[in-house]
Structure 1
């Protein structure tokens, strides 16, 4: 699927022709200098890595289809059959600090590639070196201070990290649905720490693009970093038993996490959500930071079929700054997906365009939204359901179409502050049905398509301030509840509409 990002007015419809000042997507992503600035700032103790990089020995392994010059300089030459044997022999021969360098070409691999401690397996570029797995194995980090870099993997494989101190740079994977995830960090009865993915891509993978998971006790992943990574079309063609839940980046599945950074990453066209954390009550999620990430056109199995289908699903312990969502079921979804409560969420300067629901918080407390924007939501720009102790500061609600407060309700609203019943959402099961309480909401709304812009049902001890550009006598509706103060909301009664602010909108060709 072709994609281009364009600086256009907020009212421009998706699919329109690009303006002359269109900004190519590469200009909206991190530059190489920014990538490595983030990488270096996020790294902690480097003493072990200094030892890992101190060696000077390089052993060259040539592909069977490499040119004669490359083969002449190689210590090992592959014949195109079971090429993992030559690669693994080279890895075994390395001293600490050494590198196995793969020439340009294709390596037909039918087993694991497992470097020893303080060693590197490096290709000649992800556009030059291809590891083709026929059905068994994959690169494995089972020793500390291991680096994989600069190659592409296709076929049936996963890249597994099951040990501390791993770096994976410039690796692209296009693999089938027979493994759980393409890039897979696994904490089984241990702590796995200091794992770094930089410039990695999971493209057209049958299952999860980037996955963290674990089992036993402990099952903790800590200090894991994703910088300028991409997950595109993951799970779109996955029909195995857990296929319907495939996401681009699954930061928490069955693991605990304390310390994760997702910086400048991109998710597009994935089966469920672009970025996702499971929120079960037994999982500990702390210190997860998203910054400058983009998530568009997810919920690929159908928005009506997705429980999440979000640009970002973040249940607890997460901070999101300057992140962008476009055309998802939910732009930014705070949900545990079960009876679990959500909490400790901060969103700053985050924007959603054209999702069904821009920002949704269901069943939780102690969270903050600052300077966030919903543009052109197909249903509702913000939904707060069964929530308490929330602070929504300077929220911009622009162009939301509106949707019934409840299934069959005559009240259509652009912003819903009320419980969600099972009839409203087939996935709800009653677990998100409850009022908003003990919260402060500051919201500025304009260009919305419904007579009611803000609706509060059964709210308690809630203060709402801001402005609403609407001539409707029902622009703010309060149904039931107690101690709901909307006196701080100024209705502009059809005052001049502000000019749309140029924003980044994906255009699909």
Structure 2
């Protein structure tokens, strides 16, 4: 799995560099003015080049002075060393704050502060931030490249895009990392009107172990990448990104009905071992929580609560999602749609689901094409039920899920499902309860007496689903 994951990430990076322009700092001129800043522990050679030399206390002051002295397109270059900061650093229009290398240039915040973008065309590049800090972006055309954040839970997120009565447009994160953060790794949110994040990109970014120290009120919902919290979004590209070990979901979008979500695309992303607060304690706990307006291509989920979860939250609906060539391995539930419609899954795979590989509840106009179900262990159709099944096409009751509150207890209707199952751990592979106008095609190698069960409902067609002896019999 590690080798496969690395190959996928390498391919994603190569594709990115082929398809998008070479990174140029926002607002940078062909020849930029550079002012050098040295830390108190920088080398003597570095200090000899510096216009500003920090003394190891309130180093944000000298850094801000350098930024303020620059013309548009200018670079404040931080030499190697640790800068002890106790306040905000806020570049002006078209200014660039760049370290020598993210492994050797460190902005340390033992007290509160951080990086602020409140002017257009700001660039941050090539450094690490630690301590009680965050990066807040409130203006357009921001570029963040090769920045690592390892920060505590005193701030809501490491990388935070905030749209308050405004449109924040054209933000790019490239090769950025949120590692061991107390709360969210990457977060978009907003308030007022408009509250729109527009045309944002995450390229080869990483969120690992975010949210474990989140005992504050919003702590239970902390995720690695939160693309939509209380903001609208139009245009998001998440390419070659990786989420692992986060408190709730790896990648997440809130789905409340008042949020406008469109043109969001995940490609070649990987989400592993999330739901760290406990799978049954998570409302989402997904590799990918995608309520509406999302396309996923060639994505991978491993050992989450839900591999892929379509859920609008509360009484909202999830809709207009497309999954192509997506795989889950070892999650409790491979693919889950609860209270959703107009969703297509093409060439997707659930492998070794600890419970069920596919769960559809209160859903309609669902289309699964060549869905492969391999080795699902099976789980009761309902809490306390003797009916065990690898695929659940039925409502989800409050007793089935502590977060359900009967919101997802409803029939599956007007759907076509093509499922090819093998090696499942239950005699019943697919159970349809109260379904209406559902067509099931495909196959299973199960030789059980009833690999497909239909209880109630109307116009359920399973004639095109072959089972047991039919599958294994040699062709004429």
TM-score, normalised to structure 2, is: 0.97
Where do 1:336-485 residues align within 5 Å? 336-485=312-461
Determine if the alignment matches structure 1 residue 36 to structure 2 residue 17: yes
Task: For residue 40 of structure 1, give the secondary structure of its aligned residue in structure 2.
Answer: coil
- Paired with 1:434 and 1:493, the residues of 2 have a C-alpha distance of 33
- Is residue 263–residue 293 contact of structure 1 (8 Å, CA) maintained in 2? yes
Match of 1:11 in 2: none
User: 1:141-156 counterparts in 2 under 5 A?
Assistant: 141-156=117-132
1:109 to 2:89 alignment: no
In structure 1, distance between residues paired with 2:31 and 2:87: 27
Deviations for 1:385-436, whole angstroms, at most 9, x for unmatched residues? 0000111111000100000000111110000000000000010000000010
Find the counterpart in structure 2 of residue 213 from structure 1.
189
Report how far residue 307 of structure 1 moved. 0.3
What is the number of residues matched between the two proteins? 472
Deviations 1:47-103 (A, max 9, x none): x94x53334210000010001010011000000000011000000000011100000
C-alpha separation between the residues in 2 aligned to 1:294 and 1:273?
12
* Deviations 1:147-182, CA, capped at 9 Å, x for gaps: 000000000011111001000000000000011110
Take 1:161 and 1:286, find their aligned partners in 2: how far apart are those partners? 21
* Whole-angstrom CA distance in 1 between matches of 2:76 and 2:232: 34
1:355-397 CA distance string (max 9 Å, x none) = 0000000001111000000000000000010000111111000
300, 306, 313: which one aligns with 1:324: 300
Per the TM alignment, residue 290 of structure 1 is displaced from its structure 2 partner at its CA by 0.2
Task: Give 3-state SS (helix, strand or coil) of 1:80's partner.
Answer: coil
Please give the secondary structure, in 1, of the residue aligned with 2:65.
Answer: helix
> In 2, Cα distance between the equivalents of 1:361 and 1:24?
27
Q: Does 1:188 align with 2:164?
A: yes
User: Is contact 2:8–2:268 with CA below 8 Å preserved after alignment?
Assistant: no
Give the root-mean-square deviation of aligned CA atoms.
1.6
1:255-313: per-residue Cα shift (whole Å, max 9, x none)? 00000000000000000000000000000000000000000000000001000000000
Measure the CA separation in 2 of the matches of 1:76 and 1:220: 38
Tell me, what secondary structure is at the counterpart of 2:68?
Answer: helix
Aligned-pair CA distance for 1:33: 3.9
Rounded to whole Å, the distance in 2 between the matches of 1:487 and 1:347 is 26
In structure 2, what is the equivalent of residue 500 of structure 1?
none
- In 2, distance between residues paired with 1:85 and 1:437? 62
> Quick check: 1:30–1:228 contact (8 Å CA) kept in 2?
no
In the other structure, the counterpart of 1:175 is 151
Are the counterparts in 1 of residues 96 and 122 from structure 2 also a CA contact under 8 Å? yes
Corresponding residue of 1:84 = 60
In 1: Cα distance, 2:402 partner to 2:238 partner: 31
Q: Give the SS at the match of 2:316.
A: coil
The whole-number CA distance in structure 1 between the counterparts of 2:449 and 2:372 is 21
| 5+ long unaligned stretches in structure 1 | 7-22, 498-509
What secondary structure does 1:298 align onto?
coil
Q: Secondary structure at the match of 2:89?
A: coil
Structure 2: state its 5+ residue gaps: none
| Mapping of residues 183-332 of structure 1, within 5 Å | 183-332=159-308
CA apart distance, 1:135 = 2.1
How far does the alpha carbon of each residue in 1:318-343 deviate from its partner, in whole angstroms, 9 at most, with x for none? 00000000000000000012100110
Name the CA shift for 1:39/1:158 in 2 (closer, same or farther; >3 Å): farther
Q: Between the two structures, name the one with larger relative contact order (CA 8 Å, sep ≥ 6).
A: 1
Over 3 Å counting, the alpha-carbon distance change for 1:174 and 1:38 in structure 2 is farther
> Cα deviation per residue 1:484-504 (whole Å; 9 max; x = unaligned)?
00000011338569xxxxxxx
SS at match of 1:136: strand
1-structure distance, mates of 2:80, 2:237? 32
Q: In structure 2, how many angstroms separate the alpha carbons of the residues matched to 1:339 and 1:25? A: 36
Counterpart secondary structure, 2:21: helix
Contact 1:39–1:227 (CA under 8 A) maintained in structure 2: no
